[in-house]
């Protein structure tokens, strides 16, 4: 998940604050357009010249925007802006806006491009404008802005395409759920260094009738933005509950209990009834709740830590366990760990990959392991691809590992076979 865009928003605007003395001209009619402005303090008068006389149009105060046509394309100012008292403004350059627009939800981008295009067309035919500037000049000015398409409009148009593609995809996902096209592939998690099976992680796959097997990164982010991720995650939870007894059976009875972990998108955390829904599914399946683990990321907790903390407590009260996924990549403010009810830390693949080549990664893993021990958490290292990584991780005291070295994520039937083989080989 991305870091909060709200943060750099403030930073940019802070840097671009300008003060004007009373009667200072901010821009003049027929100046080239550059920026738009938001009034922080003071007052600005917008006026125009008619027949050599100043005609005041409007006075604007704190929170109001002026000069916004600069954001919509090249051209010249059609009015003058003067500070009528000591005034402070934030400058919004087209570049800042463009950056923000590319960051936002494509659907918002789509609506914005629609509104801006309408606004431009409306200005184009505005009788007031036409009378003032003369029809020929206005026509040229507006056509050049629209036809040549400044970078801003190009970005908006790209957003529009993305938005449409996402809406189509969201609809396709909903249909694919009805048609049972989503299945979990499950990847073993084993003890280190013995390699005894501890559990599995369920990873969603889309069996698309035309496109084949689609990996989650191609649809989960879209599913998150369009809310359908909830249905996907609850579906995976159901599938996980179904497969636990089958896997356990292959272990040869109940002597060692394995678990299946399920990924839970962070966007669920503002839903009041998260634990209720999860509890309902687990109960209905009849599976022992301690054999289900929910994997969440740090960013999910950081949205509203107080709410997240309550949700996690409720989930644990149901008997399920919680794993913190991709640990080390997000906020990783180690101080908050004690605030949340967590059972397992999953160390991100990025650190495991570099554990031999990069001393810093080794130090980070060592710190995470010792921290986990302090809080009595078990640790799973993700993305183990070679034997040397096993020895390095085991030496640091890392309990469990997951990665291609042991197995790629497997379809359910192959996973059952894997359990049989593994128990024979490693116990
Ligand atoms: P994740 O939860 O961090 O899952 C681990 C990813 O690493 C999986 O990718 C897995 O196939 C891959 N992986 C495992 N071992 C290795 C290894 O040794 N080397 C390498 N290079 N990769 C390894 P996958 O299945 O493509 O899933 C990607 C992400 O999609 C997951 O990352 C998770 O964030 C998300 N995801 C998967 N299934 C679900 C789901 O049911 N619900 C939600 N909300 N997200 C899901
Ligand atoms: Ca995961
Ligand atoms: Ca992970």
Cβ of 184 below 6 Å from ligand 1: no
Q: What is the whole-number distance in angstroms between the Cα of residue 275 and the centre of ligand 2? A: 19
Name the token pair of 376. 């009595």
Res 254: pLDDT: 61
Cβ of 326 below 6 Å from ligand 1: yes
Q: Do 415 and 374 meet the contact criterion of CB atoms below 8 Å apart?
A: no
Cβ of 67 below 6 Å from ligand 1: no
* Tens digit of pLDDT at every position of the chain (427 positions): 333 333 334 444 445 789 999 999 999 999 998 899 999 899 999 999 888 899 999 999 998 899 988 877 778 898 999 999 999 998 888 777 777 776 777 777 777 767 776 766 665 444 445 455 544 444 444 444 444 456 666 777 777 778 778 888 888 999 999 999 999 999 999 999 999 999 999 999 999 999 999 999 999 999 998 888 999 999 999 999 999 999 999 998 667 899 999 999 988 887 778 999 999 999 999 999 999 999 999 888 887 888 889 999 999 999 999 999 999 887 666 667 788 889 999 999 999 999 999 999 999 999 999 989 988 999 999 999 999 999 999 999 999 999 999 999 999 999 999 999 999 999 8
Cβ of 301 below 6 Å from ligand 1: no
Res 102: pLDDT: 67
Task: Using alpha carbons, list the distances in angstroms from residue 304 to 22, 79, 300.
Answer: 44, 45, 8
Res 2: pLDDT: 34
What Rg value do the Cα atoms of the chain yield, rounded?
29
Q: What is the whole-number distance in angstroms between the Cα of residue 267 and the centre of ligand 2? A: 15
Q: What is the whole-number distance in angstroms between the Cα of residue 63 and the centre of ligand 1? A: 44
Q: Which ligand is nearest to the CA of 213?
A: 1
Cβ of 229 below 6 Å from ligand 1: yes
Res 197: pLDDT: 97
Name the token pair of 21. 């003395």
Q: What is the whole-number distance in angstroms between the Cα of residue 326 and the centre of ligand 3? A: 4
Res 11: pLDDT: 41
Name the token pair of 77. 């100012």
* Protein residue whose Cα sits closest to atom 44 of ligand 1: 265
Q: What is the whole-number distance in angstroms between the Cα of residue 346 and the centre of ligand 2? A: 8
Q: What is the whole-number distance in angstroms between the Cα of residue 49 and the centre of ligand 3? A: 63
Cβ of 324 below 6 Å from ligand 1: no
Nearest to 368 by CA among 386, 350, 384, 385: 350
Cβ of 383 below 6 Å from ligand 1: yes
**Angle 277-281-282 (CA atoms, 0-180°, nearest 5)?**
115
Residue 72 DSSP symbol: G
Cβ of 236 below 6 Å from ligand 1: yes
Q: What is the whole-number distance in angstroms between the Cα of residue 181 and the centre of ligand 1? A: 18
H or E segment to which residue 294 belongs: strand 292-297
Q: Which of 1, 192, 216 to mutate to test the pocket of ligand 1 (most atoms within 8 A of CB)?
A: 216
Q: DSSP string spanning 103-126?
A: HS-HHHHHHHHHHHHHHHHHHHH-
Cβ of 241 below 6 Å from ligand 1: no
Could you give phi then psi for residue 75, rounded to 5 degrees? 145, -170
Q: What is the whole-number distance in angstroms between the Cα of residue 400 and the centre of ligand 2? A: 14
Q: DSSP string spanning 389-417?
A: HHHHHHHHT--EEESTTT---B-HHHHHH
């Amino acid at each position: 998940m991305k870091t909060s865009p709200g943060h750099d928003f403030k930073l940019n605007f802070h840097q671009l604050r300008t003060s004007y003395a009373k009667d200072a001209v901010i821009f003049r009619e027929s100046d080239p357009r550059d920026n738009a402005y938001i009034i922080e303090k003071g007052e600005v008068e917008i006026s125009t010249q008619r027949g050599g006389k100043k005609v005041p149009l409007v006075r604007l105060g704190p929170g109001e925007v002026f000069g916004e046509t600069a954001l919509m394309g090249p051209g010249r100012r059609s009015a003058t802006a003067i500070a009528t008292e000591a005034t402070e403004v934030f400058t919004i350059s087209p570049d800042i806006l463009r950056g923000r627009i590319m960051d936002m939800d494509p659907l918002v981008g789509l609506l914005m491009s629609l509104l801006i295009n309408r606004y431009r067309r409306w200005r184009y035919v505005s009788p007031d404008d036409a009378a003032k500037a003369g029809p020929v000049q206005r026509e040229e000015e507006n056509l050049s802005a629209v036809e040549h398409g400044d970078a801003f409009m190009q970005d908006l148009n790209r957003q529009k395409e993305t938005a449409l593609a996402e809406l189509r995809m969201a609809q396709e996902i909903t249909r694919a759920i009805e048609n049972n096209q989503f299945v979990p592939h499950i990847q073993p998690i084993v003890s280190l260094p013995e390699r005894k099976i501890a559990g599995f992680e369920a990873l969603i796959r889309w069996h698309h009738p035309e496109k084949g097997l689609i990996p989650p990164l191609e649809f989960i982010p879209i599913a998150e933005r369009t809310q359908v991720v909830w249905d996907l995650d609850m579906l995976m939870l159901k599938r996980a509950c179904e497969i636990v007894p089958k896997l356990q059976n292959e272990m040869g009875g109940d002597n060692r209990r394995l678990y299946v972990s399920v990924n839970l998108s962070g966007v669920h955390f503002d839903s009041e009834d998260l634990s209720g829904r999860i509890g309902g599914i687990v109960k209905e399946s009849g599976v022992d709740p301690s054999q289900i683990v929910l994997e969440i990321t740090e960013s999910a907790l950081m949205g509203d830590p107080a709410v997240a903390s309550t949700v996690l407590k409720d989930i644990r009260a149901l008997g399920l366990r919680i794993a913190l996924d991709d640990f080390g990549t997000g906020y990783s403010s180690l101080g908050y760990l004690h605030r949340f009810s967590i059972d397992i830390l999953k160390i991100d693949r990025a650190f495991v990959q570099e554990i031999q080549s990069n001393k810093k990664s080794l130090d980070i893993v060592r710190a995470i392991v010792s921290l986990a021990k302090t809080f009595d958490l078990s640790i799973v290292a993700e993305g183990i691809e070679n034997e040397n990584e096993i020895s390095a991780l085991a030496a640091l005291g890392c309990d469990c590992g997951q990665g291609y070295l042991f197995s790629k994520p497997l379809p359910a039937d192959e996973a059952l076979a894997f359990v049989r083989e593994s128990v024979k080989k490693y116990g």
